């Protein structure tokens, strides 16, 4: 008897997808198959991205915007096409997309340019971040506070790793000038309610920035629906090359900001007496940009959006649930963060073992994970540890990979105990 009307979950063939990533076929330490579970740090690159970069260098390499020759025109077209592809991917307009070196530079650009514009008017005002921020979303704001006299306020994290939204409502008030918050924690894997946080900022006249370094690859992003003034991410976590990042800024906000750096491209006219700056977005792209990175990012987005994203979300949700379940079965295991609203990032420690020792033993068995403080030292302090081990999934992660991780963890526990 058939189940008429039964819901059929879409299937995703991660094993087939893995074949598109040359590096995932290699071995380590002699002849040990590689299981790569360090995707929150950086993803591997599919053949489509590698080929796009190779083709660019073989056929179209030139500097952009100023070359009066065929290669210059081709390189410029590829670079600006990449800007349009990124804009469409996150629901923005091309003139709202600025290419940077990554999430870190994007946040630094906003913090430095905005605080320079605001100056002493920020004295006594507050800039609000959360306790789970990456250092890249803490240090630039500390520097802005030191420069302007603003005060940094921090939204607390609950014991289960979720954000204290009541505390957020207390801190985001009439004194608040800027709110900068991570969408998905790179340590806890938790997804924050950034729509509500951005709405709170907007209600008191503050600007908002969302750090999408981890969410960009696991969630469909529309900057309009998020309600943020700025959204930032790095290409290398989205199957694209390193050294390319994106800053989205609402057009009217970007137009109000002064340049971040000076040099070529970002100018209209230069004399020794004064300089007239170019329009947004090139006003914020001084010097020769990362053309290769932009081409690779465009190729990565084309490749990624051609996948069955509905099936991929189901696959990643199943892997996330499985990863947490497997970890929690190991004696002495402590997993940080919630068991729901999770993005396939799990940080953990095992009683009596140093995270670095555990990482070394896993590496010897071919399993690549991350160990350390994950650039979230205040969060580590909050949970009373100095470092954790971290496993993180990607589109090419399979259930077989998690089988290998579980077996390697159990073997490591026996060896270390």
In terms of domains, do 142 and 274 share one? yes
Q: 126 in a domain, yes or no?
A: yes
In terms of domains, do 394 and 370 share one? yes
Q: 59 in a domain, yes or no?
A: yes
In terms of domains, do 122 and 194 share one? yes
**Per-block average pLDDT, block size 10, for the chain (417 residues)?**
55 96 97 97 98 98 90 97 98 98 98 97 98 98 98 97 98 98 97 98 98 97 98 98 98 97 94 95 96 98 97 96 95 90 90 95 98 98 97 98 97 86
Judged on CB neighbours under 10 Å (0-12, 13-18, 19+), 63 is middle
Which residues partner with 390 through β-bridges?
Answer: 347, 370
Contact 64, 79 (CB under 8 A): yes
In terms of domains, do 143 and 161 share one? yes
Which residues partner with 182 through β-bridges?
Answer: 211
What pLDDT shows up at residue 338?
87
In terms of domains, do 113 and 28 share one? no
What pLDDT shows up at residue 7?
59
Q: 7 in a domain, yes or no?
A: no
**375 is annotated as an active-site residue:** yes
Contact 215, 204 (CB under 8 A): no
In terms of domains, do 131 and 231 share one? yes
What pLDDT shows up at residue 245?
98
- Exactly one of 125, 145, 198, 375 is catalytic; which is it? 375
Q: 151 in a domain, yes or no?
A: yes
Instruction: Pick the closest to residue 180 from 234, 248, 253, 231 (CA basis).
Output: 231
In terms of domains, do 237 and 357 share one? no
For residue 127, count other CB atoms closer than 10 A to its CB: 26
How many separate domains does the chain show? 2
In terms of domains, do 133 and 212 share one? yes
Among the three residues 287, 305, 323, which one is the final residue of a domain in this structure?
305
Q: 4 in a domain, yes or no?
A: no
Distance (Å, whole) CA 344 – CA 316:
7
Q: 273 in a domain, yes or no?
A: yes
Q: 6 in a domain, yes or no?
A: no
CATH number, position 334: 3.90.1150.10
Among the three residues 261, 279, 305, which one is the final residue of a domain in this structure?
305
Among the three residues 265, 287, 305, which one is the final residue of a domain in this structure?
305
What pLDDT shows up at residue 64?
95
What pLDDT shows up at residue 9?
66
Distance (Å, whole) CA 83 – CA 93:
9
Q: 386 in a domain, yes or no?
A: yes
CATH number, position 146: 3.40.640.10
In terms of domains, do 373 and 396 share one? yes
In terms of domains, do 176 and 314 share one? no
In terms of domains, do 240 and 102 share one? yes
Range of the domain at 402: 14-36+308-416
In terms of domains, do 156 and 219 share one? yes
> CA triplet 184, 95, 245: central angle to 5 degrees?
40
Q: Are strands 97-100 and 245-249 parallel, antiparallel or unpaired?
A: antiparallel
């Amino acid at each position: 008897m058939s189940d008429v009307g039964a819901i059929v979950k879409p299937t995703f063939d991660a094993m087939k997808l893995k074949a598109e990533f040359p590096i995932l076929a290699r071995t380590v330490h002699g002849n040990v198959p590689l299981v790569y579970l360090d995707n929150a740090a950086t993803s591997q690159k599919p053949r489509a991205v590698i080929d796009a970069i190779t083709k660019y260098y073989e056929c179209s390499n030139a500097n952009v915007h100023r070359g009066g020759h065929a290669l210059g025109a081709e390189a410029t077209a590829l670079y600006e096409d990449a800007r349009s592809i990124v804009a469409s991917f996150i629901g923005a307009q091309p003139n709202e997309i600025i290419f940077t070196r990554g999430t870190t530079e994007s946040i630094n650009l906003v913090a430095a340019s905005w605080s320079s514009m605001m100056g002493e008017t920020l004295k006594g005002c507050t800039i609000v971040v959360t306790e789970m921020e990456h250092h890249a979303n803490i240090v630039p704001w500390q520097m802005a506070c030191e420069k302007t006299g603003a005060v940094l306020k921090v939204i607390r994290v609950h014991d289960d790793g979720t954000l204290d939204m009541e505390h957020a409502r207390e801190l985001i008030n009439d004194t608040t000038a800027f709110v900068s918050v991570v969408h998905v924690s790179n340590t806890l894997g938790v997804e924050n309610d950034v729509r509500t946080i951005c709405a709170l900022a907007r209600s008191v006249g503050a600007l908002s920035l969302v750090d999408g370094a981890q969410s960009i690859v696991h969630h469909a992003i529309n900057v309009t629906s998020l309600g943020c003034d700025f959204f930032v991410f790095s290409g290398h976590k989205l199957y694209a090359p390193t050294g390319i990042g994106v800053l989205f800024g609402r057009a009217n906000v970007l137009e109000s900001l002064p340049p971040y750096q000076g040099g070529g491209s970002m100018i209209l006219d230069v004399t020794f007496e004064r300089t007239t700056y170019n329009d947004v977005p090139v006003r914020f792209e001084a010097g020769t940009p990362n053309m290769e990175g932009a081409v690779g990012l465009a190729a990565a987005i084309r490749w990624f959006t051609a996948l069955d994203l509905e099936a991929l979300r189901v696959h990643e949700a199943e892997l996330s649930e499985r990863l947490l379940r497997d970890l929690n079965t190991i004696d002495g295991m402590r997993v940080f963060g919630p068991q729901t609203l999770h993005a396939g990032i799990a940080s953990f420690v095992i009683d009596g073992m140093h995270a670095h020792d555990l990482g070394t033993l896993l590496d010897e068995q071919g399993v690549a994970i991350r160990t350390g403080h994950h650039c979230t030292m205040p969060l580590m302090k909050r949970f009373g540890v100095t470092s954790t081990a971290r496993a993180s999934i990607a589109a090419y992660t399979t259930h077989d990979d998690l089988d290998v991780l579980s077996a390697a963890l159990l073997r490591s526990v026996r060896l270390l105990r």
